[in-house]
Every structure is written in C-alpha cells, then in structure tokens.
C-alpha cells in the first residue's frame, strides 16, 4: 500500500474543498487498499518527510497571511532543501494549484518543480484545457472547460514534459507537466480553484491519472 501525505488548504484555498476533490480522485485506490491517505499541515512537513511517504501532495501556497502588512511565509530554505532531498532520494511530489504559488523563484523547491505560478486575471473566466497527446499523461485527454481563475505559469518546457495546456479570453498557458528528478518523480497541475472545477468529472479524471503516475500505481 502506498503512503500518501496530503497538505491542502491555505488563506485563499478552502481545505475541505481540496480534500473533497482529492478524495474523489483517489477513491478507487483507497477502496482497493492501494493508497493510504494522510492529511497534515504545512508546519508538519519536516517531521512527516522523515517517515518517507511514497508521495506528497501540496495544495497550499507559501504565504501564511497574504493580507497582512508584513507577509509571513512557511517554507524556509531548510524545508525547501528537505523536500528536494526527499524527491532526489526516490520520493514523489505532486505540486497542485496553490502548491505552485508564491514560493521563492530562486529556491531549491521551485528549481525542482521547473515551473511556478505567475498570475491570474482578477475575474473568473471560462478556461479550456486541452492536450495534443504530449507524454503518457496527455493521452486520451478529451478537452474540457469550466469557469475558474485562469492560472498563468512559467514552465521550463525544455526540461520537463508538458501534458496539459489552458486557454481563455485572457490568453494561453501551460497547465500540467511532469519529469523525473534524481531517483524521484515530480508532477505539477495548475487547475483548479472553484468547486465547479475541482469537482468537474473531466478534471477529476486527469487529477486521478496524474496522481496515479506520480505515485507509480
């Protein structure tokens, strides 16, 4: 049974909704006893990594209190390096939505991801997600769309494998990529934020497929 650690929710992202989406995506694996899922807080991550989970899912940004006058963050250089070492030694990392956001671009963590959140328009728009079959995760992906914030990201496409792309009236972006890192695996997925997207059947399908690849199921 694969041991999966999930750290979800932050100031702008509802913990319960992220849990609901993740549990829906992994429901079959959990019922079949292929996965054991444990939830934790960002403050627990160093201790949890010592237990060597098979995969970590991060759906939480670096900022703890983004509306404060002096914004505090949780990922220190030491924690960033611990995460990178965990993956280099064979761990699996799933950076999901806000798990790509507000982390220091020069950090070892972002270097491992090979991409990060840039911005999203203020207003939610209809976002369309497509794949032309790039990589194993892009196979048999039927285009889907829903109203959501359109995440625009930087991605070092020359050093990873893009499997999902997004478009809206505001432009186009990369929305999903994966690569090996040392002995481990890294997968990044940009959507989604609203319930409509997080529980969309087509999104749940690609979330399940991406998690399964990252956990080597």
Residue 70 falls inside a structural domain: yes
Residue 159 falls inside a structural domain: no
Burial of 142 (0-12, 13-18, 19+ CB in 10 A): exposed
Please tell me whether the overall predicted TM-score, pTM, comes out greater than 0.95 for this model.
yes
- pLDDT of 195 strictly over 90: yes
- pLDDT of 133 strictly over 90: no
* Contact in structure between 216 and 180 (CB atoms under 8 Å): no
pLDDT for position 9: 96
Mean pLDDT value of segment 41-70: 96
Buried-exposed string 191-215: b where 16+ CB fall within 10 A, e elsewhere: bbbbeebbbbeebbebbbbbbbbbb
Residue 25 falls inside a structural domain: yes
pLDDT for position 1: 95
Residue 186 falls inside a structural domain: yes
Count of structural domains within the chain:
1
Over residues 71-114, the pLDDT tens digits come to: 999 999 999 999 999 999 999 999 999 999 999 999 999 999 99
Residue 13 falls inside a structural domain: yes
What are the DSSP calls for 57-99, one per residue?
EEE--SBS-TTSSS--B---HHHHHHHHHHHHTT-EEEEEGGG
- pLDDT of 63 strictly over 90: yes
d(CA 5, CA 23): 12
d(CA 199, CA 192): 9
Cα angle value 22/166/145 (rounded, 5°): 65
Q: How far is CA 85 from CA 2, 14, 133, 164, 181, in A?
A: 19, 29, 31, 27, 10
Mean pLDDT value of segment 151-162: 97
What is the bridge-based pairing of β-strands 152-155 and 115-119?
antiparallel
Residue 164 falls inside a structural domain: no
pLDDT for position 132: 83
Q: What is the CATH number for 16? A: 3.40.50.880
d(CA 10, CA 70): 17
- pLDDT of 139 strictly over 90: no
Residue 90 falls inside a structural domain: yes
Range of the domain at 201: 2-114+174-214
Residue 125 falls inside a structural domain: no
């Amino acid at each position: 049974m694969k041991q999966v650690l999930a750290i979800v929710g932050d100031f702008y992202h509802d913990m319960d909704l992220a849990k609901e989406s993740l549990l829906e995506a992994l429901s079959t694996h959990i019922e079949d006893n292929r996965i054991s899922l444990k939830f934790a807080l960002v403050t627990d991550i160093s201790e949890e990594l010592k237990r060597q989970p098979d995969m970590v899912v991060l759906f939480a940004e670096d900022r703890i209190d983004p509306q404060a006058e002096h914004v505090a963050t949780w990922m220190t250089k030491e924690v960033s390096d611990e995460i990178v070492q965990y993956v280099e030694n064979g761990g699996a990392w799933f950076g999901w939505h806000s798990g790509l956001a507000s982390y220091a671009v020069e950090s070892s963590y972002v270097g491992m991801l090979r991409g990060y959140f840039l911005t999203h328009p203020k207003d939610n728009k209809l976002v369309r997600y497509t794949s032309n079959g790039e990589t194993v995760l892009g196979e048999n992906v039927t285009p889907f769309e829903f109203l959501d914030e359109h995440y625009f990201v930087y991605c070092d496409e020359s050093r990873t494998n893009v499997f999902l792309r997004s478009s809206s009236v505001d432009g186009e972006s990369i929305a999903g990529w994966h690569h090996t890192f040392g002995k481990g695996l890294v997968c990044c997925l940009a959507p989604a934020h609203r319930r409509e997207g997080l529980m969309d059947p087509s999104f749940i399908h690609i979330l399940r497929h991406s998690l399964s690849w990252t956990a080597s199921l």
